[in-house]
Amino acid sequence: MENGVRFVATVDEREASFRLRYRVYVESMKRLADKADHSRKLLKDEYDDQARSVVAVRDNRVIGTLRLFWGGDRPFCQSLAKAYYLAPFLESLRHDQICIIERLMVCEKYRGSTTMLRMYKQVMEFVITHAVEVVLLDCEPKNITSYLKLGFRPFGVTYDYPGIGQVIPMALVVGDYEYLKSVGSPFACLITEQDLNFCHCAADLNAILDKVSKDSAAPKADIKALKFSDFLIARQNLFKKRAFPFQHRLSA
CA 143 to chain centre: 12
User: What is the Cα–Cα distance from 128 to 120, expressed in whole angstroms?
Assistant: 12
Q: Cα-Cα-Cα-Cα dihedral of 44, 150, 166, 64, to 10°?
A: 30
Cβ pair 163, 32 in contact under 8 A? yes
Q: Domains plus CATH for the chain?
A: 4-243 (3.40.630.30)
Using DSSP's 3-state secondary structure scheme, residue 231 falls into helix
Residue type, 2: E
Residue type, 36: A
Using DSSP's 3-state secondary structure scheme, residue 164 falls into coil
95 phi and psi angles, rounded to 5 deg:
-55, -35
User: What is the Cα–Cα distance from 41 to 27, expressed in whole angstroms?
Assistant: 9
CB atoms within 10 A of CB 68: 24
The model's pTM? 0.84
Cβ pair 158, 218 in contact under 8 A? yes
Residue type, 94: R
Cβ pair 145, 130 in contact under 8 A? no
Element (H, E) at 7: strand 4-7
Burial class (CB in 10 A: 0-12, 13-18, 19+), 152: buried
Q: What is the pLDDT along the chain (252 residues), one digit of tens a residue?
A: 899 999 999 999 999 999 999 999 999 989 889 889 999 999 999 999 999 999 999 999 999 999 999 999 999 999 999 989 999 999 999 999 999 999 999 998 988 888 999 999 999 999 999 999 999 999 999 889 989 999 999 998 888 877 788 899 999 999 999 999 999 999 998 899 999 999 999 999 999 999 888 876 544 444 344 444 444 444 444 444 434 433 444 444
